[in-house]
Amino acid sequence: MAVDLHNIRVGVSVGDINGIGMEVIIKTFIDNRVLENITIVVYGSSRLASYYKKSLGFHHFNFNIIPDAEKARKHKANLVNVWNDEVKITMGESTEEGGLYAFKSLEAATNDLAAGKIDVLVTAPINKHNIQSENFDFPGHTEYLTNYANADSSLMLMVDDELKLRIGVATNHIPLKDVPDTITKELIIEKVKLMENTLIKDFGIIKPRIAVLGLNPHAGDNGLLGEEEENIIIPALKKLNEEGILAYGPYPADGLFGSGNYTKFDAVLAMYHDQGLVPFKALSAGKGVNFTAGLPIVRTSPDHGTAFNITGKNEASERSFRKAVYLAVDIFKNRALYKEMTANPLPVKERRINNRE
């Protein structure tokens, strides 16, 4: 079946039912301009939506309730009733129900994504503790979806399209004490290749330039402050360069971001979670997106968590979630364009002209 690029079907999981997920979802789609050229399918329940609409005073907004994603109306905010249970909602609290129904929503959305009923997935925040069960034994969405897609690996890539800022993480959600033993030459090579591939296919960058951070302060200072740079990261970069990949470093994180030199690169690979996400969130200021790169599916999410402390107070900003919707759609279109271009490549002369432009 041909893909309609003028009507991308965006599936949305609601996240923890006691967090700000439903609030940012409603705030995003209450603006009809967001619904141009896309069809939204939210996986939750009409009772959950009504509870938040009433609590937040959004009485003039209504979802189009449907039994199945295939019944979704174009350019509407549709909602599939994944459950009809009388669920106790305790705004701002981590509860067993919050995790259980977050998973029900996610499972329904991913099943429909696999079945081709939706084109992309945008996930509202979960609580990584209360969602744990025999069905969800993962540190987070990234690992769950990597496993679901039967992929060997993926890359957590933080994106701010306005700043053209993209920061990936070599090691995802693991304790800091485990990072040094996890960093290997093979891992660096794998993550940089994933990053280059996504920059080309998903972001339309013909020959990406990638900065790779060091693990230790001052990138090891020639072995004085640690040997991982000399023994692991530099040999990995040498191998990547031999293969024609423009990967540079290792750079000290403070120097690269403090000097603004990160702007000279199309993306940055950090060694661990906070090394990448602290500068990203400081620079992005609430408008960033988390994209799971390297998978055959497209999944994005806002760059924040459940924010239990402000749930129900009408204080949550929808900016990051809205950006997540837009980015998912853009990546889906870019992949379709890349597939078309590689299936029908331009003659060499024309290709050179286009590249120069």
Q: What is the pLDDT of residues 56-108, one digit of tens each?
A: 999 889 999 999 999 999 988 999 999 998 899 999 999 999 999 999 999 99
In the structure, what pLDDT confidence band is assigned to residue 332 with cuts at 50, 70 and 90? very high
119 and 192 inside one domain: no
How confident is the model at residue 1, as a pLDDT? 47
What is the model's pLDDT at position 221? Answer: 86
**For residue 269, what are the CA distances in angstroms to 101, 120, 214, 272, 318?**
34, 25, 9, 9, 27
| 278 and 315, same domain (yes or no) | no
Beta pairing partners, 293: 155
Q: What is the token pair recorded at 64? A: 């189009």
Asked if 18 and 132 sit in the same domain, the reply is yes
Average pLDDT on 162-171 reads 96
Percent of the chain predicted with pLDDT > 70: 96
User: Tens digits of per-residue pLDDT, 140-150?
Assistant: 999 999 999 99
Distance CA 203, CA 257 (A): 22
Q: Is the domain of 10 the same as that of 147?
A: yes
What is the crossing angle of helices 96-115 and 141-148, to 10°?
A: 40
Tell whether 7 and 147 lie within a shared domain. Answer: yes
Indicate whether 345 pLDDT > 80.
Answer: no
Report the largest interatomic distance among the alpha carbons of the chain, rounded to a whole angstrom. 64
What percent of the chain is modeled with pLDDT above 90? 85
Q: Are 171 and 137 part of one and the same domain?
A: no
- Helices assigned H by DSSP within 153-231: 179-182, 185-201, 228
Q: Residue 172's pLDDT is what?
A: 85
| pLDDT tens digits, one per residue of 14-48 | 999 999 999 999 999 999 899 988 999 999 999 99
- Of the residues 289, 306, 322, the one at which a domain ends: 289
Question: What rounded mean pLDDT belongs to the chain?
Answer: 93
- Return the structure tokens found at 208: 């990406």
Q: How many domains is the chain partitioned into structurally?
A: 2
For residue 342, the model assigns a pLDDT of 85
Given a cut of 90, is residue 324 above it in pLDDT?
A: yes
DSSP 173: S
Residues 114 and 220 in one domain: no
For residues 140 and 9, state if they share a domain. yes
Cα–Cα dist 107/316, whole Å = 25
Average pLDDT for 257-263? 96
Among the three residues 273, 289, 305, which one is the final residue of a domain in this structure? 289
d(Cα 309, Cα 29) in Å, to the nearest integer? 23
pTM confidence score? 0.92
State the average pLDDT over residues 288-297.
96
Q: What residues make up the domain containing 221?
A: 153-289
Residues 284 and 306 both lie in one domain: no
User: What is the helix (H) or strand (E) element at residue 109, kind and residue range?
Assistant: helix 96-115
CATH number at residue 26: 3.40.718.10
**CA dist 178 → 174, 181, 272, 276 (Å):** 7, 6, 10, 16
pLDDT of residue 346: 57
Evaluate if residue 266 carries a pLDDT over 60: yes
**Same domain flag for 247 and 355:** no
d(CA 267, CA 302): 19
Q: How confident is the model at residue 113 (pLDDT cuts 50, 70, 90)?
A: very high
CA-only gyration radius of the chain, Å: 21
Residue finishing a domain among 271, 289, 307: 289
pLDDT of residue 350: 43
Q: Are residues 143 and 230 in the same domain?
A: no
* 282 and 306, same domain (yes or no): no
